[in-house]
Amino acid sequence: MNVYDFDGTIYKNDSTRDFYYYLLRHHTKVIKYLPKFILDAIKYKLDVVTKTKMKETFYRFLNSFPDGEIDKIVLIFWTKHRHKIYDWYYKQKKETDVIISASPRYILEPICKELNVNLICSEVNVKNGDYIGVNCYGEEKVKRFYKEYPNAIIDKFYSDSKSDEPLAKIAKKAFRVDRRGNIKEWKFKN
Protein backbone atom coordinates (compact mmCIF):
# COMPACT_ATOMS: atom_id res chain seq x y z
CA MET A 1 0.00 0.00 0.00
CA ASN A 2 1.02 3.61 -0.49
CA VAL A 3 0.90 6.07 2.40
CA TYR A 4 0.79 9.84 2.15
CA ASP A 5 1.02 12.76 4.48
CA PHE A 6 -1.69 15.28 3.54
CA ASP A 7 -0.71 18.90 4.25
CA GLY A 8 2.10 20.13 2.04
CA THR A 9 2.29 16.69 0.42
CA ILE A 10 -0.81 15.99 -1.66
CA TYR A 11 -2.46 19.27 -0.63
CA LYS A 12 -0.54 22.43 -1.56
CA ASN A 13 -0.91 24.13 1.82
CA ASP A 14 -1.86 23.31 5.40
CA SER A 15 -5.57 22.41 5.37
CA THR A 16 -6.10 23.39 9.01
CA ARG A 17 -4.56 26.82 8.46
CA ASP A 18 -6.54 27.29 5.25
CA PHE A 19 -9.72 26.28 7.04
CA TYR A 20 -9.06 28.76 9.86
CA TYR A 21 -8.41 31.58 7.35
CA TYR A 22 -11.65 30.61 5.64
CA LEU A 23 -13.45 30.90 8.99
CA LEU A 24 -11.86 34.30 9.67
CA ARG A 25 -13.28 35.57 6.38
CA HIS A 26 -16.75 34.01 6.66
CA HIS A 27 -17.30 33.45 10.42
CA THR A 28 -15.40 36.25 12.13
CA LYS A 29 -16.54 35.21 15.61
CA VAL A 30 -13.59 32.79 15.74
CA ILE A 31 -11.12 35.65 16.11
CA LYS A 32 -11.86 35.97 19.83
CA TYR A 33 -9.92 32.72 20.42
CA LEU A 34 -6.78 33.96 18.66
CA PRO A 35 -5.06 35.80 21.59
CA LYS A 36 -5.11 32.70 23.84
CA PHE A 37 -3.77 30.59 20.99
CA ILE A 38 -0.91 33.03 20.35
CA LEU A 39 -0.02 32.86 24.04
CA ASP A 40 0.02 29.05 23.99
CA ALA A 41 2.04 29.06 20.74
CA ILE A 42 4.70 31.10 22.57
CA LYS A 43 4.53 28.70 25.52
CA TYR A 44 4.98 25.79 23.10
CA LYS A 45 8.09 27.40 21.59
CA LEU A 46 9.43 27.80 25.15
CA ASP A 47 8.65 24.11 25.94
CA VAL A 48 6.08 25.08 28.58
CA VAL A 49 3.13 23.33 26.90
CA THR A 50 2.96 20.33 24.54
CA LYS A 51 2.15 20.55 20.86
CA THR A 52 -1.15 18.77 21.58
CA LYS A 53 -2.08 21.31 24.29
CA MET A 54 -1.20 24.23 22.00
CA LYS A 55 -3.35 22.79 19.23
CA GLU A 56 -6.24 22.19 21.66
CA THR A 57 -6.14 25.90 22.48
CA PHE A 58 -6.24 26.65 18.77
CA TYR A 59 -9.27 24.40 18.23
CA ARG A 60 -11.26 26.16 20.98
CA PHE A 61 -12.86 28.21 18.19
CA LEU A 62 -15.09 25.16 17.67
CA ASN A 63 -17.02 26.33 20.76
CA SER A 64 -18.44 29.11 18.56
CA PHE A 65 -20.57 26.77 16.47
CA PRO A 66 -23.73 24.82 17.26
CA ASP A 67 -23.81 21.05 16.72
CA GLY A 68 -23.49 20.09 13.07
CA GLU A 69 -22.58 23.54 11.75
CA ILE A 70 -18.85 22.88 11.41
CA ASP A 71 -19.54 19.79 9.30
CA LYS A 72 -21.55 21.93 6.87
CA ILE A 73 -18.87 24.63 6.79
CA VAL A 74 -16.14 22.06 6.10
CA LEU A 75 -18.09 20.75 3.08
CA ILE A 76 -18.33 24.28 1.68
CA PHE A 77 -14.63 24.82 2.43
CA TRP A 78 -13.67 21.76 0.37
CA THR A 79 -15.74 22.90 -2.63
CA LYS A 80 -13.48 25.97 -2.69
CA HIS A 81 -10.17 24.26 -1.81
CA ARG A 82 -10.12 20.79 -3.40
CA HIS A 83 -8.30 22.32 -6.38
CA LYS A 84 -5.22 22.54 -4.11
CA ILE A 85 -4.73 18.78 -4.27
CA TYR A 86 -1.82 18.17 -6.62
CA ASP A 87 -2.56 16.65 -10.01
CA TRP A 88 0.25 14.13 -9.56
CA TYR A 89 -1.69 12.59 -6.70
CA TYR A 90 -4.85 12.14 -8.77
CA LYS A 91 -2.79 10.41 -11.46
CA GLN A 92 -1.45 7.72 -9.10
CA LYS A 93 -4.21 7.50 -6.48
CA LYS A 94 -5.45 4.06 -5.48
CA GLU A 95 -8.35 3.01 -3.24
CA THR A 96 -5.85 1.28 -0.95
CA ASP A 97 -4.02 4.56 -0.24
CA VAL A 98 -3.73 5.70 3.34
CA ILE A 99 -3.59 9.36 4.26
CA ILE A 100 -1.96 9.90 7.65
CA SER A 101 -2.02 13.41 9.01
CA ALA A 102 -1.76 15.56 12.11
CA SER A 103 -4.78 17.52 10.88
CA PRO A 104 -8.10 16.69 12.54
CA ARG A 105 -10.67 14.23 11.25
CA TYR A 106 -13.46 16.81 11.02
CA ILE A 107 -11.46 18.67 8.35
CA LEU A 108 -9.97 15.74 6.42
CA GLU A 109 -12.70 13.11 6.48
CA PRO A 110 -14.94 14.73 3.83
CA ILE A 111 -12.14 15.11 1.29
CA CYS A 112 -10.78 11.62 1.99
CA LYS A 113 -14.27 10.17 1.45
CA GLU A 114 -14.47 12.06 -1.82
CA LEU A 115 -11.04 10.71 -2.82
CA ASN A 116 -12.15 7.25 -1.65
CA VAL A 117 -9.01 6.69 0.44
CA ASN A 118 -8.34 5.59 4.02
CA LEU A 119 -7.61 8.13 6.75
CA ILE A 120 -5.57 8.08 9.96
CA CYS A 121 -5.41 11.45 11.66
CA SER A 122 -5.67 13.47 14.84
CA GLU A 123 -8.94 13.00 16.66
CA VAL A 124 -10.38 16.27 17.90
CA ASN A 125 -13.76 16.73 19.57
CA VAL A 126 -15.63 18.93 17.10
CA LYS A 127 -17.75 20.40 19.91
CA ASN A 128 -14.96 21.83 22.08
CA GLY A 129 -11.55 21.30 20.44
CA ASP A 130 -10.27 18.73 22.95
CA TYR A 131 -7.96 16.06 21.61
CA ILE A 132 -9.03 12.45 21.87
CA GLY A 133 -5.60 10.95 22.42
CA VAL A 134 -2.53 12.83 21.21
CA ASN A 135 -1.62 14.71 18.07
CA CYS A 136 -0.93 12.33 15.15
CA TYR A 137 2.59 13.57 14.52
CA GLY A 138 6.08 12.11 14.13
CA GLU A 139 6.51 8.74 15.84
CA GLU A 140 2.80 8.75 16.73
CA LYS A 141 2.01 8.27 13.03
CA VAL A 142 3.94 4.98 13.04
CA LYS A 143 2.06 3.78 16.14
CA ARG A 144 -1.30 4.63 14.60
CA PHE A 145 -0.41 3.08 11.29
CA TYR A 146 0.52 -0.25 12.89
CA LYS A 147 -2.52 -0.14 15.15
CA GLU A 148 -4.78 0.21 12.09
CA TYR A 149 -2.75 -2.08 9.79
CA PRO A 150 -0.75 -4.45 12.04
CA ASN A 151 0.91 -6.52 9.31
CA ALA A 152 0.94 -3.99 6.49
CA ILE A 153 3.96 -3.04 4.44
CA ILE A 154 4.26 0.47 3.08
CA ASP A 155 5.39 0.24 -0.53
CA LYS A 156 5.74 3.99 -1.06
CA PHE A 157 5.54 6.85 1.41
CA TYR A 158 5.26 10.54 0.51
CA SER A 159 5.70 13.57 2.75
CA ASP A 160 6.93 17.14 2.73
CA SER A 161 8.06 17.03 6.36
CA LYS A 162 11.20 15.80 8.11
CA SER A 163 8.95 15.02 11.11
CA ASP A 164 7.63 12.09 9.05
CA GLU A 165 11.01 10.39 8.88
CA PRO A 166 9.84 7.58 11.22
CA LEU A 167 7.21 6.58 8.63
CA ALA A 168 9.64 7.07 5.77
CA LYS A 169 12.09 4.66 7.38
CA ILE A 170 9.56 1.81 7.53
CA ALA A 171 8.56 2.19 3.87
CA LYS A 172 10.16 0.23 1.05
CA LYS A 173 10.56 3.57 -0.78
CA ALA A 174 10.09 7.07 0.55
CA PHE A 175 9.73 10.36 -1.30
CA ARG A 176 9.92 14.02 -0.29
CA VAL A 177 7.53 16.51 -1.84
CA ASP A 178 8.65 20.13 -2.09
CA ARG A 179 6.48 23.27 -1.97
CA ARG A 180 5.91 23.14 -5.71
CA GLY A 181 4.75 19.54 -5.65
CA ASN A 182 7.99 18.15 -7.06
CA ILE A 183 8.85 14.66 -5.85
CA LYS A 184 12.29 13.24 -5.17
CA GLU A 185 13.58 10.19 -3.36
CA TRP A 186 14.00 10.64 0.39
CA LYS A 187 17.68 10.69 1.35
CA PHE A 188 18.38 9.59 4.92
CA LYS A 189 21.35 10.98 6.81
CA ASN A 190 23.42 8.35 8.57
For the chain, the domain total comes to: 1
Query: Which structural domain, as residue segments, surrounds residue 135?
Result: 2-185
Encode pLDDT of 170-180 as tens digits.
999 999 999 99
CATH code where residue 109 lies: 3.40.50.1000
- Whether 24 contacts 58, CB under 8 Å: no
With 0.85 as the threshold, say if the pTM is over it. yes
Distance set, CA 171 to CA 145, 174, 178 (Å): 12, 6, 19
Neighbours of 21 (CB within 10 A): 12
Query: Mean pLDDT in the chain?
Result: 95
pLDDT tier for residue 127 given thresholds of 50, 70 and 90 = very high
Inform me whether the pLDDT recorded for 146 exceeds 70: yes
Average pLDDT of the segment spanning 117-139: 94
Does the residue 190 lie in any domain? no
pLDDT tier for residue 190 given thresholds of 50, 70 and 90 = low
